[in-house]
């Protein structure tokens, strides 16, 4: 059963998806066999929380729970809800949250790559890097090309002919080809067949003769005057072959304009001949374009494929060696190897049982959220699961498809019901936005473009009201007008207020105006704790210690913590080698004094000594030294500052080394775990791009809309692909340079125009995403730049429907009361004053964040880790974990248990240890079971990894055996090393004695693995 849910913005998509998940559970599907995929980490968190909350609410037997049950039955009235069964499922899900399979699509593909592909290519450890970090690999590819004569000749010919001789352009081109690699994977490349044509020089000569006929009739002046000046040279060439060379060489000129002087061929007596001339010249241009296509475009495309092969070969060599991949790399490699017959995981368009064995799970139902953002490459992987699973549910909104630049395809979701033969349901009632906003959106998008195919939605009956203002301006600073409106309407209350714009450049300009007006704001980039003003300097100095990045040292010195002035900064830059020699221990203090550098004074000496001391310090002590020696707690005293410092140090406490910690920060940069504390409560306007706002909502939204009537010129390489109706096979493709746009279009190919249509619709999609973020108040500021409003205005706004009045910079609001907004502002200001009173109580907050206690606990926790584990010890530790994991899944040691345990142990540890070592672990575990058969007797009720909560503390027992008949309990503890904590087992025994009220004889035993 396949279902497609088309959900407009704010119509309860996440709520509906979570209910569909519950229905699968109620119908008996194991939760670990249900896979959910969505687009962002934030969405995975929300869906997981929503599912668990619904279950908790249902089993609580509350009114809210009954409402959820009613909604479930509206979707499927055949379900039979067993509360006791749901309680059991809920408890299992809480105990096994790691088995709730909710992924980002990137995360899912990474899991498949790790468990299926990487062992196949003998790659057992790797790292995910971001796009910025990946630039290093592009540069290394270029270096390898330069150092290889054959490769360099191929590239040199290509670049010299087509691109400026600039190293940045070389790198940009390599980047572009790597970014579009997925298209190379999907295209079945075959050399293009030349198009048939007539020799264009013959047709041009015919056109010249036709012009001569006109000249003879007109009988005025000289024949050469009937040619435009740029075309007169042609008549001076006597040799036809030379004329052909001239036309081919200057083809752009001939394709762009007519060759005749229009003023010379006017008149009724030559109207017919003029028409003939124009027809002949159109025929000439078409045949000239075909000639250029055959001579240049076809070989150019072949050249692109040749250099792409070289790039991919070198890129893969570097990547596999370094074991560092972007998410795009993971997707490309996953698709490439999944279809390899030798791997044996795909057969007849479906995943085989072997695939599911490797990932350690069956998949009964697959949910795909935000499907409109799914790339075609991702789709060609996901459809293999859909074809293999019992059911699928895809959810999305084609109006919110805004990721075509990375392979997203709106038409894929638009036609999904025809691709997977599914039933379509439409969610068309908004629970987010008030009625006035919904009505405005319906009017606006209903008329904006006939290809947009907008269908009106309704609003929730209780959401009556809303407020809209629009401003359309040209030849004035519209951004200033926006900020003035903020000052007028919001009166200092900025909670749940956002400004959206298309790009960061516009946001930065608005941020500058907000700053000048002392209006607080936060940008999308500083939502991470790393970007918090108290943490960023600490991050800089830690990054310097790890990478010896002098720029990070300078950033630390310029931060609020040190705050050296410009003169000192220049001296630090000038004397970099000397400073680094001292910090790294190459030079000592006495030698530096001997050099008598003009920037050395007592304070700088102390500063350098402290930094040197910090750099050579144990990681566990760095944070304490930072706080004590640099006076961080004296410089930052607000609640928000202290919370974020404390939280950052709490994160540090979880790691044994600086390298591990910094790698964690890099990998989790967009994770909720690294979000600043209290950012939601900040009384500041949030500035973000439309792309970053997706999935969010704001009570009050200001949208800055930069409108330009000028089209950006096409530049660089283009990779056009057009697919069949199932989006499986590429039916047409063209990889070409934009400089050939006119040639391509004159030949009759529609690649550029089709791409333009897609781009235009995506811009409307961006508008739709932006305007549908508002729940209560929507302010639109349209900036027409230096263009007049006139025609552009009328094509975008409708005065009749929206009460927007054109006029250079004139502001007119729709006649809707602002009272509701003002009431809300008064309420929020009261809340703000309470918050401000709390801010004044600095003593309380410092007591709450007791840093001395923190460092004392940190020291105690780290004592046992003073001697770092060697690589061998760490490997043996992981081997022990693999044995533990295998035994965790064994109850009585039966064959079917052992098969299942083997499969999931391979799945979890195969990538980490290698299959040979996992085989060793499984062999040791089976030998252990055979030697200890008395503890695998079926007379026992068995509880593996049993967790006991006692006095607010949790205790975990490796294996707990209960013999009800003889009233006996065995507490078994597996040991793979030499340390045995007898006191711990006795503590477990005492707890169980108390909990069972001494009704069982309890024995404890260590079992050596």
Summarize the annotated binding site as residue ranges.
7-14
Residue 500's contacts (CB-CB under 8 Å, 6 or more residues apart) are 688, 689, 690, 693, 701, 702, 703, 704, 770, 773
Rounded to 5°, the CA angle 75-78-80 comes to: 105
State the maximum Cα–Cα separation within the chain, in Å, rounded to a whole number.
Answer: 125
Q: Are 946 and 910 in contact (CB under 8 A)?
A: no
For residue 564, give both structure tokens: 């050296």
Binding site per annotation, positions for ATP: 7-14
Rounded to 5°, the CA angle 961-962-968 comes to: 110
Rounded to whole angstroms, how far apart are CA atoms 78 and 27? 10
Among left, alpha and beta (phi > 0; psi -120 to 50; other), residue 542 is alpha
**Strand-strand pairing, 968-975 and 953-963:** antiparallel
How far, in Å, are 200, 274, 278, 279, 895 from residue 287 at the CA level? Answer: 5, 20, 14, 13, 74
Q: How many other β-carbons are positioned within 10 Å of the β-carbon of residue 444? A: 21
**Residue entry with tokens 């025929």:** 283
994: burial class by Cβ within 10 Å (0-12, 13-18, 19+)?
exposed
**Phi, psi of 325, rounded to the nearest 5 degrees:** -135, 145
Q: Are 382 and 338 in contact (CB under 8 A)?
A: no
Rounded to whole angstroms, how far apart are CA atoms 443 and 802? 8
Q: Are 418 and 725 in contact (CB under 8 A)?
A: yes
For residue 129, give both structure tokens: 């890097």
Q: Are 327 and 149 in contact (CB under 8 A)?
A: no
Rounded to whole angstroms, how far apart are CA atoms 193 and 198? 16
Rounded to whole angstroms, how far apart are CA atoms 525 and 691? 13
Q: How many other β-carbons are positioned within 10 Å of the β-carbon of residue 889? A: 17
Nearest to 134 by CA among 349, 282, 343, 332: 332
Q: How many other β-carbons are positioned within 10 Å of the β-carbon of residue 583? A: 22
Rounded to whole angstroms, how far apart are CA atoms 10 and 430? 5
How far, in Å, are 215, 228, 270 from residue 219 at the CA level? Answer: 6, 18, 12
């Amino acid at each position: 059963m396949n279902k497609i849910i088309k959900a407009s913005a704010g119509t309860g998509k996440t709520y509906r998806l979570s209910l569909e998940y519950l229905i699968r559970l109620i119908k008996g599907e194991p939760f670990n066999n249900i896979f959910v995929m969505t687009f962002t980490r934030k969405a995975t968190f929300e869906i997981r929380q929503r599912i668990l909350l619904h279950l908790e609410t249902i089993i609580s037997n509350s009114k809210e729970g009954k409402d959820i049950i009613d909604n479930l039955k509206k979707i499927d009235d055949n379900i039979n809800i067993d509360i006791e069964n749901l309680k059991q499922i809920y408890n299992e899900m809480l105990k096994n949250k790691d088995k709730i399979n909710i992924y980002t699509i990137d995360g899912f593909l990474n899991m498949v790559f790790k468990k299926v592909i990487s062992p196949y290519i003998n790659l057992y450890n790797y790292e995910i890097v971001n796009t910025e970090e990946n630039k290093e690999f592009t540069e290394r590819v270029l270096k390898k090309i330069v150092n290889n004569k054959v490769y360099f000749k191929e590239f040199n010919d290509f670049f010299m002919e087509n691109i400026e001789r600039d190293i940045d352009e070389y790198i940009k081109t390599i980047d572009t080809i790597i970014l579009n690699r997925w298209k190379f994977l999907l295209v079945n490349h075959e050399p293009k067949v030349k198009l048939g044509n007539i020799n264009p020089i013959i047709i041009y000569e015919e056109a010249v003769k036709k012009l001569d006929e006109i000249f003879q009739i007109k009988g005025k002046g000289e024949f050469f005057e009937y040619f435009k000046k740029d075309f007169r040279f042609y008549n001076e060439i006597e040799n036809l072959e030379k004329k052909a060379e001239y036309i081919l060489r200057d083809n752009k000129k001939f394709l762009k304009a007519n060759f005749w002087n229009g003023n010379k061929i006017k008149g009724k007596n030559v109207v017919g001949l003029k028409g003939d001339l124009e027809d002949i010249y159109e025929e000439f241009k078409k045949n000239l374009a075909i000639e250029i296509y055959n001579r240049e475009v076809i070989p150019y495309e072949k050249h692109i494929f040749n250099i792409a092969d070289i790039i991919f070969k070198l890129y893969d060599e570097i990547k596999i060696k370094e074991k560092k991949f972007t998410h795009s790399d993971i997707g490309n490699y996953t698709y490439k190897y999944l279809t390899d017959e030798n791997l044996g995981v795909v057969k007849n368009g479906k995943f085989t049982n072997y695939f599911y064995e490797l990932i350690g799970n069956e998949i009964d139902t697959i949910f795909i959220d935000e499907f409109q953002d799914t790339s075609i490459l991702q789709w060609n992987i996901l459809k293999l699961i859909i074809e293999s699973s019992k059911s699928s549910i895809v959810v999305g909104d084609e109006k919110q498809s805004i990721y075509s630049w990375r392979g997203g395809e709106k038409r894929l979701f638009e036609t999904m019901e025809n691709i997977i033969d599914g039933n379509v349901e439409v969610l068309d009632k908004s629970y987010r936005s008030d009625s006035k906003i919904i009505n405005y959106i319906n009017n606006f998008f209903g008329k904006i473009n006939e290809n947009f195919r907008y269908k009106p939605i309704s609003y929730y009956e209780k959401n009556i009201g809303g407020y809209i203002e629009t401003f359309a301006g040209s030849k004035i600073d519209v951004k200033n007008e926006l900020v003035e409106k903020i000052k007028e309407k919001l009166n200092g209350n900025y909670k749940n207020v956002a400004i959206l714009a298309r790009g960061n450049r516009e946001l930065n300009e608005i941020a500058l105006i907000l700053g000048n007006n002392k209006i607080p704001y936060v940008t999308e980039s500083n939502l991470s704790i790393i970007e918090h003003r108290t943490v960023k300097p600490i991050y800089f100095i830690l990054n310097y210690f790890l990478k010896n990045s002098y720029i990070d040292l300078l950033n630390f010195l310029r931060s609020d913590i040190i705050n050296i002035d410009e003169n000192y900064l220049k001296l630090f830059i000038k004397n970099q080698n000397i400073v680094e020699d001292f910090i790294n221990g190459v030079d000592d203090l006495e030698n530096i004094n001997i050099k008598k550098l003009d920037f050395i004074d007592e304070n700088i000496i102390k500063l350098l000594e402290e930094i040197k001391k910090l750099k050579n310090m144990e990681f566990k002590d760095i944070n304490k030294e930072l706080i004590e020696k640099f006076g961080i707690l004296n410089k930052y005293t607000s609640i928000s500052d202290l919370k974020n410092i404390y939280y950052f140090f709490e994160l540090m406490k979880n790691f044994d080394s600086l390298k591990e910690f910094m790698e964690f920060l890099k990998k989790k940069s967009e994770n909720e775990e690294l979000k600043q504390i209290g950012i939601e409560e900040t009384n500041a306007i949030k500035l973000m791009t439309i792309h970053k706002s997706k999935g969010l909502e704001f009570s009050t939204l200001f949208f800055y809309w930069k409108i330009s009537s000028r089209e950006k010129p096409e530049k660089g390489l283009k990779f056009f692909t057009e697919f069949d109706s199932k989006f499986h096979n590429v039916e047409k493709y063209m990889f070409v340079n934009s400089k050939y746009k006119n040639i391509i279009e004159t030949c009759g190919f529609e690649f550029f125009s089709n791409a333009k249509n897609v781009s235009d619709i995506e811009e409307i999609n961006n508008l739709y995403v932006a305007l549908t973020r508002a729940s209560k108040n929507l302010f639109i500021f349209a900036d027409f730049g230096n263009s007049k409003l006139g025609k552009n205005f009328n094509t975008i706004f409708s005065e009749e429907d929206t009460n927007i009045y054109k006029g250079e910079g004139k502001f007119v609001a729709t006649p809707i009361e602002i009272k509701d907004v003002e009431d809300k502002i008064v309420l929020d200001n009261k809340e703000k004053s309470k918050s401000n009173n709390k801010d004044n109580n600095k003593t309380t907050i410092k007591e709450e964040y007791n840093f001395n206690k923190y460092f004392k606990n940190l020291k105690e926790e780290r004592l046992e880790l003073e001697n770092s584990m060697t690589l061998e010890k760490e490997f043996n530790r992981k081997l022990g974990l693999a044995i533990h994991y295998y035994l965790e899944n064994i109850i009585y040691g039966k064959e079917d248990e052992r098969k299942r345990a083997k499969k999931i142990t391979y799945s979890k540890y195969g990538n980490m240890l290698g299959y040979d070592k996992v085989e060793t672990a499984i062999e040791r575990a089976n030998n252990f079971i055979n030697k200890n058969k008395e503890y695998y007797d079926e007379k026992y009720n068995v509880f593996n990894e049993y967790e006991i909560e006692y006095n607010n503390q949790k205790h975990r027992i490796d294996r707990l055996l209960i013999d009800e008949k003889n009233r006996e309990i065995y507490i078994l503890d597996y040991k793979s090393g030499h340390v045995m904590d007898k006191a711990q087992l006795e503590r477990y025994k005492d707890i169980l004695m108390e909990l069972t009220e001494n009704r069982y004889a309890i024995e404890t035993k260590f079992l050596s693995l």
